[in-house]
Amino acid sequence: MSETQPGDYYVYHNPDAWLMADSGCKVNKHYIPDAVSVEWKGQCIDGFAIGYGQAWWVESDGTTGYFQTCLQPEHPFSKCSMGGGRK
């Protein structure tokens, strides 16, 4: 059974809002707007990076980035909250 319910969040149905990670999990571009590739190690729900994890990315000019955080904290199945704390 799918945990992400249709119509719950517009962004989940907007393919332009996501970048596919090497793991097969989609990362919201809101968190990495200039990235052209991303690696995500963390919670993946229905193919989306949701919850606590780590992201490494590369931007078009070669700049690289890294963060350890909570993505999509508003999702009901996220195991963290805004600011990275546990629910």
5 phi-psi bin (left φ>0, alpha ψ -120 to 50, beta other)? beta
* pTM of the model as a whole: 0.78
Closest CA to 59 of 41, 39, 38: 38
The mean per-residue pLDDT over the stretch 64-80 comes to 88
pLDDT at 79 over 60: yes
Q: Would you list the domain boundaries of the chain?
A: 10-71
pLDDT tens-place string over residues 12-57: 788 888 999 999 999 999 889 999 999 999 999 989 999 899 999 9
pLDDT at 77 over 50: yes
